[in-house]
A = this chain, B = another copy of it.
Amino acid sequence: MPADPVGKARPRRGRPRGTSARQLEEIALRLFTEQGFHETTVDQIAAVAGVSRRTFFRYYDAKSDVLWNEFDSEVETIRELLAGSPEDLPVLEAVRRAVLAANHYRAEDVPELRMRMNLLSTVAELAASATRHYDAWERAVISFVARRTGQAEDSLYPLAVGRAVLATCRAAYERWSARADADLTVYLDAGLRALAAGFADEVIVGEPEGVV
């Protein structure tokens, strides 16, 4: 939660932190990939970071939250992109552009991103924890759709659109992390275009392996 403004020097007041959310994430990612999620205990992660188990749970509410750090902070980007999109654009088109714009990563970050996503879609417990984190993401899309269509946020269509868009993106994330053949945005673009075309037979039969 204390988002550590990187620009500021740090005229902090109390006792300095013994670690950071980011450091715990790096350690956890390494241990999870090396020896598995279940085989890694919170005590181990904390020990490597040089803090106590209790402190880990002050940075993350749950063991399964530790890989969602960056993702959580990207929701705001999507929200802003959607808010600033031209009014005459079809709803799904606006969403597609916002998602693509929010998913350009620096090449040096890609390997870590891929490992993280691999774990998130592979380990059952992590996949289950996704629900909570995708919630804010989903809500951003839902709010936008509700506003643009003049419907209530809790009515069927905005909810269905938000969920379906998220589901499509998750499919794209997953395929991208499993294969190593193209840019993430290519997968996202293909999936979202197909969604906007209603997954019509002519569209989804198109490419042999989707994208290459």
Contact = CB atoms under 8 A, between A and B. Distances in A.
Main secondary structure of the interface of A (DSSP, over half): helix
B92 A191 contact: no
A35 interface: no
A151 interface: yes
Instruction: Count this chain's copies in the assembly.
Output: 2
A172 interface: yes
A208 to B, nearest CB: 7
Contacts of A210: 151, 155-157
B197 A198 contact: yes
Contact of A171 (B159, B200, B205): B159
A191 B156 contact: yes
Contacts of A163: 167-168, 170-171
Given A131-B130, A208-B151, A164 B195 contact: yes
Contacts of A27: none
A155 B168 contact: no
Interface of A: 90-92, 124, 127-132, 145, 149-152, 154-164, 166-168, 170-172, 174-175, 178, 187, 190-191, 194-201, 204-205, 207-211
Given A149-B204, A155-B175, A159-B175, 4 more contacts: A92-B198, A128-B131, A131-B131, A156-B210
